Structure 1
Amino acid sequence: QEKKIFVVQGPYPVIRSLLWARGWVEKKLPCKGQVGSRPQQHHGRQKQLMEEVEEEEGDDGVEQGEASRLVQNQVPYFIWTNHCSAFDLRLLQRDQMVNHYARVAAFTTKSGLCLNLRNLPWFDQADPDTFFPRCYRLGDVDEQEAFIEDFRLTAARSLLKVALERAGDVLVGTQQLQTSGEGPGKSHVSCPMPPTAGPEPPLYPQLLDEALQICEQHLSVLGHQDIDMDTPRPHMMGTNWECFLRDYYHVVHEGARLMLSRMQWERCQALLQRLAEQLAQMGMEGNSNIWILKPGAKSRGRGIICTARLEELLQLAGRCKPPLLKPGEWVVQKYVERPLLIFGTKFDVRQWFLVTDWNPLTVWFYRESYARFCSRPFSLCHLDPARHLCNVSIQKHFKLARGWHPQLPPDRIWSSQQLQVYLAQIGRAEAWHQVMVPGMKAAVLATLRSARDLVESRKGSFELYGADFVFGEDCQPWLLEINTSPTMAPSSVVTSHLCARVQRDTLRVVIDHRNNPTCSTGDFELIYKE
C-alpha cells in the first residue's frame, strides 16, 4: 500500500542497504536481468555503512528474503539500474521512479557533447570556448576540414610563441637573433630535440614571416564573426601547408633554429596579444599544438591517444589507413597543455550533479568531489597515458613513478578538502570557492541547457551524473566529459567514503525531499530550477 517496493540492477550494494533500512522491500530480478551484476568487495565507508544497516535490521534480514518472495509479482516503485536500457521507460507508470532519462547521449557521449556545445550560443549567453576545449567530430566532412584548418592556425600561433620564448628578452637594434632549441625548462613547454652539435646556419628564414601572415589573416577573419553564420575559414593565399607543417615540426618539435629580427619580435608580441583578446583558449592551448583523439562513445579513457602531428591524427582516425574505429566514431579535441599541476603531476576532478526534472530543469550540485592523479610527472615531451589520462581505470595499470612526491596520495585520490588544503599552501586559498566551483557549476548548467530540448523528459525519473574537469594554470575549469552511471566502486579510502555518501544523499533528494521539501538533502545543493 505504501508502494515501497524497489529493484536494484547492477553493483549498488549501498543503495540496496539504504532502502532496506528505510523499510523498502526488494523485488529480485531474474538472473538474466542482472546484467553487469557480480559479487562485490566492499571497503571502508561502504562496508561500515552496510554493517550499520545490518545491525539496525537484526533478524529483519531473514524477513527481507521472505518479503522479496511475496512481492515478485508486484510493480516496483523505485528502480536503480546501471543502464537505461534495462527498462523501457515508456512503459513505466508515472509513479515509478527510475534513475535514468532517455536520450541523454546528447551530452553524455563525447560526440554528442561536441555537437551540442557548438550550438550553445543559440540557447544561452555562455560561450563554450570558455569552458570546453574546442572539439571536432571527424566523421563529419565539414568538421574534419574545420579541424584541419584549426590545427594549421594553431601551428602558426605556436610558432610565434616558440620564437618569442626561445629568443628571450634581449634584442639589440635590428640585429637578427638565432633562436636555440632550448626552452626555459618548464614542464609546460614543448620539448624539442637538441640541435645538431657544431656550427649550423639558421634554418627557414621565411617561416616566421609566413606564420605572421597566416595569423594576421586569421585575426582579420575573427573580426567579422557573426552568430548567424558559420565562421568563415581563412584561405591562406599561397600557403603550401605540407611544407609549412614540415618546417614547423622541425622548429617546434625537433629543435631547429629560426632567425628573428627586432621587427619580427615586435610583430609577434603585438599579434599574439590581439589574438588572445579574440581567442578564449589561447592561454590553455600552450605551444606544442597537442590534440587528443577520443572514441566518440566510449568511457573510462579507453582508446584515447595524444599526439602533436596532423598526419598521425588523421591516420589514427581512419582517413589514411584502415581505422581502429569508423571515422564517425572519433572526436578530436584540443589538449589542455597548461594544466594546474600538483607537485608536477596532472590531476582532474570528478564532480557529481543530479537532475531531478528537465521541465522545469532542476539541477543539484554535490558539495564534495575528488581529485584523480596520474602516476607519472606531467611532461609534454612524453604523451603516454600514465602522464596525461587521469582515469582510475587507466592509472591502475601503472606503477607510481620513482621519486613520487611524498605528499601525493599513494592511491592517487584526494578529496576536494585535501585539494583545498593544498591550494591554501600555495597561496591560492580562495581559488576553490571563487573560481573552480563557480566555473564547474556554470559549465554544467550551460551544458544541460544546450541539451534540454533533446532529452526525453519524464516526471518519475532522476539521474546522477559524473562530470570530469581539468583546471588551467589560472584555476579555470575545463569540462572534459559527463558520465552516466558514474562509478560507485570504492577504489580508494576517499572514494569508499564519498561514494557511499553521494548515494545516501541522492536518496534524500529523490525520496525524502519529494515528500518533505524542508528535509535535509545532505551535501546536495539546489543550484538551478527554472
Structure 2
Amino acid sequence: MDEYIEELCALYSVSKLKILQDLLLISNSDNCNLKLTPKIEDFSKDVKTRIITAIYKIISEEKFTNKKIFIVYGNYEPIREALFARGWIEKLPSHRQSDLQAQVLESVITHANKGNLYESVALSKVLEEYPANFIWQYECMPDVNNGIVPYRNRIRHINNQNFTRKTGLLNCFEQNLWYKQEGLSNMICPRAYRLNDGNPGELTAFINDYRQTQCRNLIKFLWDKLKNPKLVFDENKGTVPKNILKHAVNCLQNQAKKKFLDDNISVGEDPIWVNFIKMSDNIIHKKAKLKITYEKLYELTENGMQFLHKITNKHKDYDWDGLCNIWILKPSCQSCGAGIVVSRSLYQIVKTTQRNPNKSYIIQKYLEHPLLIHDTKFDIRVYMLLTIDECFLSIWIYKDCYLRFSSTKYTLQNLEEQVHLTNHSVQKKYPISTKRTALLPENNMWSLAEFQSYLKSNNLGDKWVSKIYPEMKENLTALIMSGSQQMKYKKGSFHLYGCDFMLSNNFDTIFIEINNSPDLSSSTTTTKIVCSNVMQDLVRVVVDLPEDAQAPTGDFELVHKIKYQPYNKNLRQGIVITGEILPLTPLKSKPNLDLNIKRK
C-alpha cells in the first residue's frame, strides 16, 4: 500500500506531505509526531486507507474541474482506452463490477493497486457525486444532464421521425428532391412503399408498381430474344395468346402517359392480371412461346420498347430491376436481418403483412443486378458520425470501411437469406458453400484495401475514388439534410451510425439502410481493426477538436456542416414568415366616388 500511495501522488501530482499533515491534524494519532515530517510507514492501516481516500477525492475534484469524467455503458474498450490516454477517469455504470460496487469504500480501497479492478471501483465510488462529462449510453436510457452539458452519443428525433427506422429513411428519400445539390447531396435508393401503416394508398401503389414492373420485364425479355425469335414465338403451337403482349404494351403506354392503373385493387382477385402474371412468367422463366406472327411480335415489342425508353429516362432505378420482379419485405423497426422476406410473389408478400396487421413493413424493390465479386453478393458498411456544437450539425464520414459477403454464390433461383442478406448476424449462421470460390475469406469480410486491390487488378482502380466514395458522401449528406428538421439539437451530442451500401453492376452507389446502434465488436479480424480505429478516431473528433481546431481527426472526414435552428417544444413547428411592415402611402386627395349610378 505504501508504494501505491507513492504512485498515486506521483501520477496525479498530488502533494503527499499536505495530505499527510491534514490527516494527522484530523486523526491526532498517538504514534505520529506533528513536529516531524511524517512517514507513510508510521501510519496504521486505517490511516493509510484514509490517505488513499483523500487522494481519490483530490483526483475526482481535479477531474471534475477539468471536465474529464466519463461513463461508458457496454464493451467499448477502445473508447475507454482513448479517454484514459487523455487523462480522463471512469465512473462505472452500476451493472459493471456490481459485487465490488456493493462493498463499502474502505473495504475496496484496502485491495486497491495500480490498474486493478479494486482501484477502478474505489475511484468510481468516490465519483458518485460527480456528473460525467462524456457519456456513452444505450438508446433506451434517459438523457440525464445533472446540470452540465456532457458529450453524449445520442441525437434524438422529434415525434420519433428517426431515419434509422425504415419508414423514416423512406420519408427522407421522398424529400430528396428538395435537398438535391449537384456534387453535394443526392440519395440513390431502391423504390419502396409502406405497408400496414394505415394508408391503403401505399398498398395500391405497390401493387401497381409490381404489375408495371412485370410488364416492363416481359418487353425487355422479348426485345432481347428477337435476335433469335423462334425461342419466344410459335405461330401455330404457341401456348401463350398474343393478348398477353398487347396487355403489357398498353400498360407501358399508359405509364408513359402518366396514367395510373386502377386505384381500387384487390390482391389476387383480378383475373386479367392473375393470368397476365402467370403467362408472362411462363414466357420469361419457363420457355413458353407466344402464339403470334413474327411481324406482330416485332411490331408490339418495338412499340413497347419505345414506351419503355420514355419511362426509364426518368427512373434510373429501373436499370437495377432485372427480369424476376423480386421484392424484399422488411419489418420497419427490426435490424440484423430479422423478419426479412425475399419474394417474387405478390400474393406471398401481401399475405405476410396481413398475417401481422399490427406490424408495419417496408416493401422495397430488390436489386437484381448487383455488382458481384467472384459471383458472390456483398454490401459495404460505412460509418457516419454526427456532432452538434453551438451552431452547427457536422457530418463526418469514416474513410475506411469493409465489405460483407454472402456465404454462397449469388443466384435468383434461390431466394433464401444466406444468398441475399449480407448482414454478418445472418451469414454467421451458415457454413461457407463449397461452390463459392476459395478466393473469398471464411469470415465473409474484406477490408477496403482488399477491395481496392481487387478493383485495381480488374482495371477499375479509380472507381472508389472517382465514383463510389463520392456518391456515398452525397447519399449521406442528402439523408441528413432531409432529416435534419426532425432532430433535437443539444450541444455536445454526437451519434455514430452504421450505413449500408450496395453497388449495381454499372457501379451506381445505392443506399440501402442505416443502423442506429451499429455493432462495433471485434467479430472478425477485419472489424477488429476497423471498429477499433473508428472508436479511437471518434474521440479525436468529439473530445479533441472542440479544444483544438487543428487537432487531427484520424480517418473521419468532415463532408458538410448544417447551421441549425434549436428545437423549442413550446413553439409550434411550421412555416415561418418574416418581413417588415410597410407604411401605407397617404392619398393626395379624396377619390371622387360617384354613387349615383344611372341605369339605362
Under a length normalisation based on structure 1, what TM-score does the superposition of the two structures give? 0.83
Q: CA deviation at 1:265?
A: 3.5
Aligned 8 A contact 1:346 1:374 in 2: yes
Aligned 8 A contact 2:252 2:304 in 1: no
- Deviation per CA, 1:110-147: give whole Å up to 9, x if none: 11111232123234458999611011110231111111
The aligned residue for residue 251 of structure 1 is: 283
Partner Cα distance (2:233, 2:75) in 1: 56
Aligned match for 1:117, one of 173, 176, 189: 173
Deviating more after overlay: 68-77 vs 200-209: 200-209
Are residues 267 and 502 of structure 1, via their aligned partners in 2, closer, same or farther at CA, if it must alter by over 3 Å?
same
1:342 aligns to what SS in structure 2?
coil
| Equivalent runs, 1:384-399 vs 2, <5 Å | 384-399=416-431
The answer to whether the aligner puts 1:71 opposite 2:127 as a matched pair is yes
Partner Cα distance (1:128, 1:211) in 2: 36
Q: 2:188 is aligned with what amino acid?
A: F
1:451 aligns to what SS in structure 2?
helix
The aligned residue for residue 27 of structure 2 is: none
Partner Cα distance (1:452, 1:130) in 2: 15
Q: CA deviation at 1:200?
A: 5.0
Partner Cα distance (1:502, 1:253) in 2: 46
Q: 2:406 is aligned with what amino acid?
A: C
Aligned 8 A contact 1:130 1:280 in 2: no
Partner Cα distance (2:285, 2:480) in 1: 39
- Deviation per CA, 1:176-202: give whole Å up to 9, x if none: x45189xxxxxxxxxxxxxxxxx9534
Question: How many percent of aligned residue pairs carry the same amino acid?
Answer: 30
Partner Cα distance (2:153, 2:376) in 1: 35
The aligned residue for residue 145 of structure 1 is: 204
Aligned 8 A contact 1:117 1:128 in 2: no
The aligned residue for residue 62 of structure 2 is: none
Unaligned runs of 5+ in 1: 35-57, 172-176, 182-198, 222-231
Q: CA deviation at 1:77?
A: 0.7
1:453 aligns to what SS in structure 2?
helix
Aligned match for 1:179, one of 232, 236, 250: 232
RMSD: 2.6
Deviating more after overlay: 23-32 vs 519-528: 23-32
Aligned 8 A contact 1:5 1:77 in 2: yes
| Equivalent runs, 1:418-429 vs 2, <5 Å | 418-429=450-461
Unaligned runs of 5+ in 2: 1-64, 99-112, 265-269, 563-600
The answer to whether the aligner puts 1:308 opposite 2:344 as a matched pair is yes
Q: CA deviation at 1:105?
A: 4.8
Are residues 500 and 10 of structure 1, via their aligned partners in 2, closer, same or farther at CA, if it must alter by over 3 Å?
same
2:501 aligns to what SS in structure 1?
strand
Aligned 8 A contact 1:84 1:102 in 2: no
Q: 2:301 is aligned with what amino acid?
A: W
Aligned match for 2:140, one of 75, 85, 100: 85
2:71 aligns to what SS in structure 1?
strand
User: Aligned residues, how many?
Assistant: 467
The aligned residue for residue 345 of structure 1 is: 376
Partner Cα distance (1:351, 1:449) in 2: 18
| Equivalent runs, 1:305-344 vs 2, <5 Å | 305-318=341-354, 322-323=355-356, 326-327=358-359, 329-344=360-375
- Deviation per CA, 1:356-398: give whole Å up to 9, x if none: 0285231011110000000010001111111100000000011
The answer to whether the aligner puts 1:270 opposite 2:306 as a matched pair is yes
The answer to whether the aligner puts 1:212 opposite 2:230 as a matched pair is no
The answer to whether the aligner puts 1:299 opposite 2:335 as a matched pair is yes
Q: 1:293 is aligned with what amino acid?
A: L
Q: 1:136 is aligned with what amino acid?
A: Y
Aligned match for 2:260, one of 233, 236, 256: 233
Q: CA deviation at 1:203?
A: 1.5
Partner Cα distance (1:208, 1:154) in 2: 14
Are residues 135 and 365 of structure 1, via their aligned partners in 2, closer, same or farther at CA, if it must alter by over 3 Å?
same
Q: CA deviation at 1:32?
A: 9.1
Partner Cα distance (2:262, 2:471) in 1: 35
The answer to whether the aligner puts 1:107 opposite 2:163 as a matched pair is yes
Partner Cα distance (2:395, 2:272) in 1: 50
Q: 2:555 is aligned with what amino acid?
A: D
Q: CA deviation at 1:19?
A: 1.7
Q: CA deviation at 1:26?
A: 1.1
Deviating more after overlay: 501-510 vs 236-245: 236-245
Aligned 8 A contact 1:118 1:128 in 2: no
Are residues 289 and 496 of structure 1, via their aligned partners in 2, closer, same or farther at CA, if it must alter by over 3 Å?
same
Partner Cα distance (1:453, 1:208) in 2: 47
- Deviation per CA, 1:290-345: give whole Å up to 9, x if none: 00000001011111111011111100111xxx32x624x11100000000000000
Q: 1:138 is aligned with what amino acid?
A: L
Q: CA deviation at 1:254?
A: 3.6
Aligned 8 A contact 2:186 2:474 in 1: no
The aligned residue for residue 37 of structure 1 is: none
Aligned match for 1:448, one of 457, 480, 484: 480
Are residues 380 and 249 of structure 1, via their aligned partners in 2, closer, same or farther at CA, if it must alter by over 3 Å?
same
Aligned 8 A contact 2:545 2:551 in 1: yes
The aligned residue for residue 95 of structure 1 is: 149
Partner Cα distance (1:65, 1:247) in 2: 71
Are residues 369 and 93 of structure 1, via their aligned partners in 2, closer, same or farther at CA, if it must alter by over 3 Å?
farther
Q: 2:215 is aligned with what amino acid?
A: A
The aligned residue for residue 227 of structure 2 is: 169
Q: CA deviation at 1:243?
A: 2.6
Aligned 8 A contact 1:217 1:236 in 2: no
